């Protein structure tokens, strides 16, 4: 029987990708696509040892367990040993389940049929197609749901100043409780480029200290506008806030230009 190494590698890549994808869902972890691909690629290369008798020692149980651990560590990129061990166990159990299904398909390797009508593909080909379809559909559904959640947290904000008004879209950062220490007013952080038409020299400059989860921090420059209006449920609500400048754009596709602290809403 002829065996095509490229086909074998492709089948193993799809299978490993699917297993890593399912494992990340069970662990409720978001993983970047490139790390799925990297882990699946490394896992697919493991099948090469079956073609070289001199490498059969790599098929021993200890090395298989170690290989699974390495694949998980590369894909999930976490340093917690307990997490990696737990995730590796789930990955291995998922592999056992998939191997059992594949063994059944290998025994029944015949054209697939529905209600007596032959479809023209084997059970193995059907299984690979279902893996791909599941991943694609799940990615699409996840993207759409993320977009819906994101849009629900974006508000239309009008910054009212002495010389002009500025309309922006701002994202509600529910973990942000930033306040200006002197006035104790909540802070809205705005992309500095969006404020270029506002004459900020008419206002006193304020320094707002901040800290991030990673331990870093610093000071943001800001000013107090006359007030802002936030559109909620079709109504414009007036708020007293401090507007701080940010030199970093919040979103590459310009979905919003500002971050709202929880105290504003």
pLDDT tens track, the chain, 265 positions: 566 677 888 888 998 999 999 999 998 888 899 999 999 998 888 877 777 777 777 777 888 888 889 999 999 988 889 999 999 999 999 888 887 777 776 666 555 555 555 555 666 777 888 899 999 999 999 888 877 777 777 888 888 887 778 888 888 877 777 888 888 888 888 887 777 777 766 677 888 887 766 556 677 888 888 888 888 777 888 888 888 887 666 555 567 888 888 777 7
CATH number of the domain located at residue range(s) 153-260 in this protein: 2.40.70
Contact in structure between 237 and 157 (CB atoms under 8 Å) = no
Q: Is 2 strand, coil or helix?
A: coil
Q: Output the pLDDT for position 213.
A: 62
Q: Output the pLDDT for position 59.
A: 73
Q: Output the pLDDT for position 247.
A: 67
* Separation between Cα atoms, residue 102 and residue 47, nearest integer Å: 15
**Torsion from C-alpha of 67, 73, 76, 82, nearest 10 degrees:** 110
Q: Output the pLDDT for position 163.
A: 72
Which residues are catalytic, by number?
173
Contact in structure between 250 and 259 (CB atoms under 8 Å) = yes
Q: Output the pLDDT for position 251.
A: 52
Q: Output the pLDDT for position 112.
A: 56
* Separation between Cα atoms, residue 150 and residue 167, nearest integer Å: 19
Q: Output the pLDDT for position 29.
A: 87
Residue where the block lists tokens 């998939």: 98
Q: Output the pLDDT for position 3.
A: 61
Q: Give this prediction's pTM.
A: 0.64
Q: Output the pLDDT for position 65.
A: 87
* Separation between Cα atoms, residue 238 and residue 236, nearest integer Å: 7
Q: Output the pLDDT for position 188.
A: 86
Contact in structure between 220 and 130 (CB atoms under 8 Å) = no
């Amino acid at each position: 029987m002829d065996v095509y190494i490229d086909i074998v590698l492709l089948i193993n890549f799809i299978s490993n990708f699917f297993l890593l994808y399912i494992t990340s869902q069970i662990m409720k972890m978001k993983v970047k696509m490139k790390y799925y691909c990297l882990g699946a690629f490394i896992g697919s290369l493991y099948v090469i040892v079956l073609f070289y008798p001199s490498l059969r020692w790599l098929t021993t149980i200890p090395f298989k367990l170690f290989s699974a651990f390495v694949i998980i560590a590369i894909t999930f990129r976490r340093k917690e040993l307990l997490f990696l061990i737990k995730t590796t166990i789930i990955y291995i159990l998922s592999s056992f389940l998939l191997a059992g299904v594949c063994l059944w398909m290998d025994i029944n390797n015949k054209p697939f049929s529905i209600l007596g009508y032959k479809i023209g593909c084997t059970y193995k080909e059907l299984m690979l197609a279902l893996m791909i379809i599941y991943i694609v559909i799940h990615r699409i559904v996840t993207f759409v749901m993320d977009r819906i959640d994101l849009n629900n947290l974006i508000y239309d904000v009008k910054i009212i100043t002495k010389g002009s008004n500025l309309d922006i879209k701002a994202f509600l950062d529910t973990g942000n409780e930033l306040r200006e220490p002197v006035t104790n007013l909540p802070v809205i952080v705005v992309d500095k480029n969006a404020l270029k038409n506002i004459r900020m020299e008419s206002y006193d400059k304020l320094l707002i200290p901040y800290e991030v989860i990673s331990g870093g921090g610093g000071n943001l420059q800001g000013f107090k506008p006359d007030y802002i209006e936030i559109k909620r449920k079709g109504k414009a609500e007036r708020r007293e806030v401090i507007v701080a400048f940010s030199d970093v754009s919040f979103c590459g596709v310009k979905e919003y230009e500002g971050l709202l602290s929880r105290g504003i809403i």
